[in-house]
Amino acid sequence: MLCGPLDLVVWKDTGVTVRLREGGLQTSEDAKFYALSTRFKPFSNVNETLVVQFSVKHEQGIDCGGGYVKLFPATLNQEDMHSESQYYIMFGPDICGFGNNRLQVILYHHGKYHENNKTLKCRINKDTHLYTLIIRPNATYEVKIDNEKVTTGALEDDWDFLPPRKIKDPYARKPRKWDDRLQIEDPEDKKPEDWEDSEFIPDPEAKKPDDWNEEIDGVWEGPLITNVKYKGQWKPRIIDNPNYQGEWIHPEIDNPKYRPDTTICHYYNISVLGLDLWQVKSGSIFDNFLLTNDEEFAEEVGNKTWGLRKDVEQQWRELYEEMEKKKEEEETKRKREREWARQEDIWGLDEEDEEDNEEDSEKEPDEKSKLEDSASLGKKEARFDQKDEL
């Protein structure tokens, strides 16, 4: 379940209510799907800049789960929101195992979802990070993390919304005589006459047996022996190709299927902002949600929210890590001392056992002498009895 308010700022100076609240939304149960959304007055980003911004802190040290937000159309049924619900934009960190930490920027266009062709990385430490997506009316975009630009470009270039402008000429073929071999075997290099390339040769001292019958036994072949003059397989030396023409480049032509589309990422009824994600290990804290058409305003909001807390948060984290390190060192020290004490107790018991053994050894001669005396007396008495009987 998600707890806390959903901060929201939308379309500046258009009559839409602006709300900023303290607190954040934190996932609280492991291995769970989360769905939470807020609805506002529908608006369009046609001829307007669209800025999607929020902060997220993976306090739990996430190893698998989403940390992104989604923008939905007004047709969304919030009570039945799920992973298959249609959305316009999905933006934010998505972590799935060690080393697979992507910053997703998925955009909806003409009934399909398109991922950014660039591999964008998110930040997965335990600090709070601010994520900003900017889509401009001139069909360009920018992605920022912690108010710093990480990538920018044209929507048409970095997403496969449209067929490519250029394609390879289907009628062009590489000329048969085109030589793209960088190096070749030297045609003037000849194998030396005395070059031995047979690893095994017939034994010259072997003789055909006198009783060998070729009609019955077949043609006689002598045994093979290792050729002591064998030099290996001969190959001509390699030289630069004097006729090298370079790599053949397939000519391109205008793609007849390409049609410019000025409506890329034009959304006419943006009305819901929500979290629709899965987390294996909960604890992520979402905050400072913002939708606006003002890039400078978004940066200012980021600096006044995330920016004011980041240094303090870092100091607290470093202090916490230092305290945890000291706590671990003290626990290790106490554990070592307990181990030493246990060893001393064990050795102390051994010394007492040795003292007891020494005392026992001192007593043993007396008892042994008594036994020997009694045995000798018994023998004398036995001899006396025997003598008496005789």
**pLDDT tens digits for 351-367?**
555 555 555 555 555 55
pLDDT tens per residue across span 252-281: 999 999 999 989 999 999 999 999 988 888
Residue 378: per-residue pLDDT: 43
Q: Which of 34-38, 260-264, 282-286, 344-348 has the lowest mean pLDDT?
A: 344-348
Label residue 161 by pLDDT band (50, 70, 90): very high
Q: What is the pTM of this model?
A: 0.66
β-pair partners for 149: 144
pLDDT tens per residue across span 305-347: 888 887 777 776 777 677 878 888 888 888 888 888 887 777 6
- HSE toward the beta carbon, residue 282, CA cutoff 13 A: 13
Q: Which of 91, 64, 102 is nearest to 289 (CA)?
A: 91
Residues with Cβ within 8 Å of residue 86, at least 6 apart in sequence:
72, 73, 75, 76, 108
Label residue 202 by pLDDT band (50, 70, 90): confident
pLDDT, mean of residues 9-38: 65
Residue 274: per-residue pLDDT: 92
Q: Which residues make up each annotated binding site for an alpha-D-glucoside?
A: 68, 70, 87, 94, 276
Q: Which residues make up each annotated binding site?
A: 68, 70, 87, 94, 276
Q: What count of other Cβ atoms lies within 10 Å of the Cβ of residue 45?
A: 22
Quote the tokens at residue 38. Answer: 């807020």
pLDDT tens per residue across span 162-193: 999 999 999 999 999 999 999 999 999 999 98
Per DSSP, helices labelled H in the chain are 155-158, 214-217, 295-304, 306-389
Residue 22: per-residue pLDDT: 52
Q: Is the pLDDT of residue 18 over 80?
A: no
Main-chain dihedrals φ then ψ at residue 171, nearest 5 degrees: -100, -5
Mean pLDDT, the chain, as a whole number?
Answer: 82
Q: Is the pLDDT of residue 287 over 50?
A: yes
Residue 219: per-residue pLDDT: 85
